[in-house]
Amino acid sequence: MAQPVIIPLPSSFSDGDPNHQPGKHGTYLVDPPTIYLEKLADWWMRHRGQKAENVRYRFDRLPSGYRCFGKARLQNPKLSDKWLYGHPKHSTYDSPLKFWPHFRALMENGGNPTGCDCVVCGGRKDTNKSSGKLGRPKLADSVRTDEEGTPDVYRELIDGLRKDGSLDIEIREPMSMDWRATREGTEAMIAKAMTQPNWIPRIGEIVLFVRTIEDWQEISMDHETGEYKIFDKTTNASGRFPSWEAGYVSELAEEDVSLNDLVMETKKSMGRNYSGFRIEAFAAGPQHKYVPLHQIRPFFLWERLLKGLDIRLYHASIIIAMKYMSSVSLLEKFHFRGTWPKGTILCKGVYLGAELLLVGDTIRLFPGPEPGHDPAKVTDVIQLTSIRLELSDLDKASANDYDDGRPYNLAIRLGGRRYTLDPDKATGYAPLSPHQCPEVLHQYDDWYYTHDPSKFVDVPFNRVLGRCYDGEAMLLWCADANSSESTPDISTGVAAVRYGRHHSTKRDPRIPDGKRWYWADCRAQQLELDTFNGHYTADRDPERDPKVLKKHCKVMMGVAQEEDRQELKQPNMEQRHLHGYAASSSMVRSALHDDNVPTTGGESESDVAIAAAMMAEAHDEEMPSDSQPFGRKRSRSVASRGSKTVVPTINVEDSEIESDDQLAADMAGQEFGIGSSRGMGSMPKKHKY
């Protein structure tokens, strides 16, 4: 007999629960479960109209989480009965025929049993017990979708947590083209960032840049005035102010860079469009520019670099960029775990204002608000081990995310091992040796543990100042041309970031009165981008068609019907591009071929005019200084009824938050302005932030 044709089964096409299995007494694992593999494959090929005559088919395995077990009959041990385990309801199937409707639903919906009418999901009674005519099949609980029809995986996870009591599962969105188009690029971007020095700009970060500097010039501090100007190496004298602009990084340099590149460009073998960073400015007119690293600075240095320059002379892009300082979006939500009624979504990164923070980074914390603390002096840092979105009070919330019932609570938390420069906060008396603390801290005086090093500490995200940069990089950015300074200042930028967030809260129209932060679905939405790297973002793509999107997903999953395939082959469909999906929630380059569209940001001529008016008005405002930082008011944590988003709560009983973090924790309990009708990338719209 001819060998069967083996059909690979996608690993993500399953709702199986591997914890569902029989007791060990008398049962055995059927491996391979041949009858299921061959029957299901044969029916599937028939269902798709692709079965060839006299050809046998066989799946390479069962859907993930499903396993077949057998048990010998008492009366005749030579015979055995077989059951299929793995259904989320912990009910079994006793034949491939009864499992077939559920299997078909999984295959057609990327692992979501939408419309399943199998005996377990409740659609039909057991056919062995049926009498007379069968009634109309009862559908399983309807799968929640967003306005584009994409399954709401987060609501499904919450529903699964409620049903099973506990859950620990990878987050996958096979029916979301945004997720599919960005996943590979996002993972590659994160992996690359984690292997590079932290002074290299990251995709999507807001930076300051100068378009042109001559080979004999560099940017450095004038030691007489303390202002940063263009230093002429031929005359050994400082001249004009650099023409700083603000923009976001849309492409990294292909060629390696070194610390020396921070102040002057080293010899490169490639052209500027390969050796430089592509920066797209926040202003009308010329947008992107490939810029060498020595013409780029982190945005938190804006106050230091622009010192001495009249605010009315600031480039409009800088004022526009400040608008985004009080905004946040999570990157790569990859795992869900929880025990009812609490759940946690693990993330790999968070865009906080201007910067991208990743697990593994060492981050600076704002000075504590307690009396006696210098409000301009950073003393504490955390090496991140987790970035989490925590869900609580799920049992008290309405199960419908779109009604006016009570929402559940959400909180962004960053956790890790905490270090301090303040001996009064130390758990031990002796400073740490170099091997006991992150390498990035080695040039910043003596460090101490604030807690038992075997334990991790949580902080609310708004307590975070930004990345802790290598000391050498800070010296190269901030020292004057003739300086011999050898100790970097870890507190650089405290007042500037405070001012930026203060300005953003007042000026970003997406943040309602009484709220302090804007929570975006993705970085593109956070920065109001129409395009990224020359391609439309998902929300702004004029040709985005959800129906075509779903058909493409089904083709990629191998579950498309023939009519779907034929429709996608029509001339008008072939001309459509997918850049809107590829440039959506993660800042990645599209690998799909198409002509570039005009590069534009979320800002327009009117935005620039508004920025100019804001600069004139801001001229009379108090500018930041390290001696006079902006104060912060305590917020009230009272629910705002009548709104689908209410004041958040920070649940601290299951994590360690020090006393000097209590005000920050309370401040994190502000109402958010919420972005995207698709919520957190299909996150339910109604929840407490």
In the predicted structure, residue 616 carries a pLDDT above the cut 80? no
Q: Which of 53-57, 85-89, 328-332 has the highest mean pLDDT?
A: 328-332
Comparing 162 with 666, the larger pLDDT belongs to 162
Question: 341 preceded by cis ω (within 30°)?
Answer: yes
The amino acid sitting at 555 is: V
Closest CA to 187 of 58, 333, 357: 333
Closest CA to 304 of 476, 483, 493, 444: 493
Cα 6 from Cα 38, distance rounded (Å): 9
Confidence of residue 67 (pLDDT cuts 50, 70, 90): very high
Comparing 652 with 289, the larger pLDDT belongs to 289
Mean per-residue pLDDT, 175-186: 80
In the predicted structure, residue 557 carries a pLDDT above the cut 70? no
Comparing 93 with 604, the larger pLDDT belongs to 93
Calculate the alpha carbon distances from 46 to 38, 40, 561 in Å. 12, 10, 12
In the predicted structure, residue 364 carries a pLDDT above the cut 80? yes
Q: Which of 156-160, 188-192, 586-590 has the highest mean pLDDT?
A: 188-192
In the predicted structure, residue 511 carries a pLDDT above the cut 60? yes
Position 483 scores a pLDDT of: 55
First CA to last CA across the chain, in angstroms?
63
Please tell me the least confidently modeled range out of 82-86, 133-137, 470-474, 501-505.
133-137
Position 191 scores a pLDDT of: 92
Position 11 scores a pLDDT of: 73
Position 143 scores a pLDDT of: 56
Per-residue burial over 255-276, b if 16 or more Cβ lie within 10 Å, else e, is: eebeeebbbbbeebeeeeeebb
Percent of the chain beyond pLDDT 90?
A: 39
In the predicted structure, residue 374 carries a pLDDT above the cut 70? yes
Cα 162 to chain center, whole Å? 25
Please tell me the least confidently modeled range out of 306-310, 321-325, 661-665.
661-665
Please tell me the least confidently modeled range out of 149-163, 208-222, 593-607, 660-674.
593-607
Position 301 scores a pLDDT of: 96
Percent of the chain beyond pLDDT 70?
A: 72
Mean per-residue pLDDT, 344-355: 97
Per-residue burial over 158-173, b if 16 or more Cβ lie within 10 Å, else e, is: bbbbeebeebeeebbb
Mean per-residue pLDDT, 30-35: 91
In the predicted structure, residue 125 carries a pLDDT above the cut 60? no
> Reduced to 3 states, what is the DSSP secondary structure of residue 148?
coil
In the predicted structure, residue 668 carries a pLDDT above the cut 70? no
Position 404 scores a pLDDT of: 56
Calculate the alpha carbon distances from 356 to 170, 526, 563, 572 in Å. 23, 12, 43, 39
Comparing 436 with 606, the larger pLDDT belongs to 436
Per-residue burial over 349-368, b if 16 or more Cβ lie within 10 Å, else e, is: bbbbbbbbbbbbbbbbbbbb
What's the pLDDT tens digit per position in 562-607?
A: 666 666 666 444 444 433 333 433 333 222 223 333 333 444 444 5
Position 565 scores a pLDDT of: 66
What's the pLDDT tens digit per position in 632-650?
A: 222 222 222 222 332 222 2
> Reduced to 3 states, what is the DSSP secondary structure of residue 222?
strand
The amino acid sitting at 566 is: Q
In the predicted structure, residue 560 carries a pLDDT above the cut 70? no
Cα 110 from Cα 108, distance rounded (Å): 6
Closest CA to 176 of 148, 155, 157: 148
Position 604 scores a pLDDT of: 47
Report the mean per-residue pLDDT for the chain. 77
Backbone angles phi, psi at 162, to 5 degrees: -65, -40
Confidence of residue 304 (pLDDT cuts 50, 70, 90): very high
Mean per-residue pLDDT, 60-70: 91
**pTM of the full predicted structure?**
0.69
Please tell me the least confidently modeled range out of 133-137, 371-375, 419-423, 431-435.
133-137
